[in-house]
Copies of this chain bind each other. A is one copy, B any other.
Amino acid sequence: MTEGMERGGGIALWRQIAEQIRTEIATGVYAVGDRLPPEADLAARFGVNRHTLRRAMAALAEADVVRIDQGRGTFVQAGRLSYPIRRRTRFSEIVSAQAREPSGRLIGHRLEVADEAVATRLKVAAGTPVHRVESLSVADGVPISLAEHWIPAERFPRLVEVYAETGSFTKVLEAHGVTDYTRRSTRVTARVADALEGQRLGLPPGSAVLVTENIDVDTAGTPVQTSRTLFAGERVELVVEQGDDPA
């Protein structure tokens, strides 16, 4: 075989090939919209039968990484980002799994006191100091979501500096001893973005956004953050997977 595919090692060739192509897309060997080489060429390159290569392509198409057009070719897809709603939800993992490059940006931060709604969600007394953070999540340079987070200030004093360094909420929580967290609940609605929101998400006026409200809890069940997130409707689809504990 032309490339370093491992046979009989317990990992199917089609999966190894799919991983390889995913990586090449993620690292820019093939850009969004590019046509991949014909199946026959790719099969020759990996030293496998065309059926095996097609199995790999089918997996990539299933994950919306590529789009297959009979007679035309196979193209790198830039379709809507599929955003699964699960108990374990990590923006960076979700984006990476779809062969795109995640990043995060802090837009604003203010220390305020929790109003009734936020306090209830965080299970603290109204008036408790909380961080209010606005952040923008980006995939391949395209804004995906705009979020407002509320986080108990006493428990996470170093929020701003860690987020600024890493661009990751997971890292912020880790830095304060929260090794794992899960989503307790998610509510989804939709509306039209206002001017400021549209501008931040890079959307034309009048664009629809998905609005989610959710609560993350640590392993002990204590809320660690609640947030309201706006997703650009034309770039994202939220996927609720049944069979997972809905909580």
Asked if A12 lies at the interface with its beta carbon under 8 angstroms from chain B, I say: yes
Query: A14 within 8 Å of B by Cβ?
Result: yes
Q: Is A204 an interface residue (CB 8 A)?
A: no
**Closest partner residue, chain B, to A15 (CB atom):** B10
Q: Which residues of B contact A18 (CB under 8 A)?
A: 10
Copies of this protein in the assembly total: 2
CB distance from A163 to the nearest CB of B (A): 29
Instruction: Give Cα A156–Cα B70 distance, bound, in whole angstroms.
Output: 54
A71 at the interface (CB under 8 A from B): no
Q: CA separation between A10 and B63, bound complex, in Å?
A: 15
Interface string of A7-22 (1 = CB under 8 A from B): 0011110110010000
The 8 Å CB contact of A12, one of B11, B14, B59, is B11
Q: Across the interface, name the chain B residue whose C-beta is closest to A14.
A: B10
The answer for the CA separation of A168 and B24 in the assembled complex, in Å, is: 28
Asked if residues B9 and A10 are in contact (CB atoms below 8 Å), the reply is: no
Cα distance, A15 to B15, chains bound together (Å):
14
Most buried by B among A9, A10, A12, A18: A10
- Most chain B CB within a 10 A radius of its CB, from A11, A14, A15: A11
Contacts of A11 in B (CB 8 A): 10-12, 15
* A59: chain B residues within 8 A (beta carbon): 10
Name the residue of chain B whose CB is nearest to the CB of A12.
B10
Interface hits, A59-87 → B, CB 8 Å: 59
* Chain B residue at minimum C-beta to C-beta distance from A16: B10
- In the bound complex, how far is the Cα of B8 from the Cα of A12, in angstroms? 10
Interchain CA distance A85-B12 in the complex, whole Å: 28
Closest Cβ of chain B: how far from A56's Cβ, in Å? 9
Q: In chain B, what residue has the closest Cβ to A59?
A: B10
The residues of A with any CB-CB pair to B shorter than 8 Å are 9-12, 14-15, 18, 59
11 residue pairs bridging A and B, Cβ less than 8 Å apart: A9-B15, A10-B11, A10-B12, A10-B14, A10-B15, A10-B18, A10-B59, A11-B11, A11-B12, A11-B15, A12-B12
Please list the 6 inter-chain residue pairs (A to B) with the smallest Cβ-Cβ separation, ordered nearest first: A10-B15, A10-B12, A11-B11, A10-B14, A11-B15, A10-B11
